[in-house]
């Protein structure tokens, strides 16, 4: 009786027939694929042998002549840099070309704070009068021998005065 029912459904419903055939085909394809995959995995592959290692070369070291000392001379010690004083560091900051002399141009090149102090009207422009009055007087006061250049001793006189620090910052 069950076969009759299945047969009747098979004849009446064409859509169900297509689903059953598709299911059987999918199952057959999956099982066939697994069978092939396992068959390939079971085959033994020959692994090629690695190439033989190269024979190590012997290093040829130079030989010392007979009677040569076993150790070489002691390497020279590097010279120690002398400690510079605060004034020497300040001088070197302005002496751009390192010729032990400060020209007027070198002195003026790195003075942005001084620029702000000289710019009385605050327009970021210095008139010749604003600039020349203060800097020329200072340079002229430091240049004792009037040669237009400052030596280290002359430059030391331009050092700004230290301000007393407050005892506490309350």
17-41 residue pLDDT tens: 777 788 888 888 898 888 888 877 7
H or E segment to which residue 56 belongs? none
Q: What is the pLDDT of residues 46-89, one digit of tens each?
A: 778 888 888 877 778 778 788 877 777 777 888 887 787 877 88
The overall average pLDDT reported for the chain is 77
pTM: 0.27
Q: What are phi and psi of 150, to 5 degrees?
A: -105, 125
- Sequence length of the chain is 170
Separation of alpha carbons 165 and 162, rounded Å:
9
Q: Are 152 and 93 in contact (CB under 8 A)?
A: no
> Is residue 141 scored above 70 in pLDDT?
yes
pLDDT of residue 15: 67
β-partners of residue 150 are 102
CATH fold label, 86-156: Recoverin; domain 1 (1.10.238)
Position 156 confidence tier, pLDDT thresholds 50, 70, 90: confident
pLDDT at position 35, please? Answer: 83
Share of the chain above pLDDT 70, in %: 82
- Look at residue 44 in the predicted model and tell me its pLDDT: 77
pLDDT at 14 over 70: no
CB 143 within 8 A of CB 156: no
Distances (CA, A) of 78 to 15, 75, 81: 97, 9, 9
Specify the pLDDT at position 63.
81
Contact 19, 12 (CB under 8 A): no
Rounded to whole angstroms, the Cα distance separating 37 from 57 reads 48
C-beta of residue 71 within 8 angstroms of C-beta of residue 118? no
- 11 versus 48: which is more confidently predicted? 48
| pLDDT on residue 1 | 52
Q: Which residue has the higher pLDDT, 151 or 116?
A: 151
């Amino acid at each position: 009786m069950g076969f009759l029912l299945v047969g009747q459904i098979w004849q009446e419903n064409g859509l169900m027939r297509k689903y059953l055939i598709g299911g059987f085909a999918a199952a057959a394809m999956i099982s066939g694929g697994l069978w092939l995959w396992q068959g390939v995995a079971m085959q033994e592959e020959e692994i090629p042998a690695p190439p033989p290692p190269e024979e190590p070369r012997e290093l040829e070291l130079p030989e010392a002549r007979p009677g040569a000392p076993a150790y070489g001379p002691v390497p020279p010690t590097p010279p120690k840099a002398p400690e510079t004083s605060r004034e020497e560091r300040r001088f070197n900051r302005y002496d751009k070309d390192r010729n032990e002399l400060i020209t007027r141009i070198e002195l003026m090149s790195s003075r942005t704070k001084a620029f702000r102090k000289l710019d009385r009207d605050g327009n970021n422009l210095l008139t010749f009068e604003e600039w020349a009055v203060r800097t020329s007087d200072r340079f002229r006061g430091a240049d004792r021998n009037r040669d237009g250049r400052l030596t280290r001793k002359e430059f030391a006189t331009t050092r700004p005065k230290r301000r007393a620090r407050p005892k506490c910052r309350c």
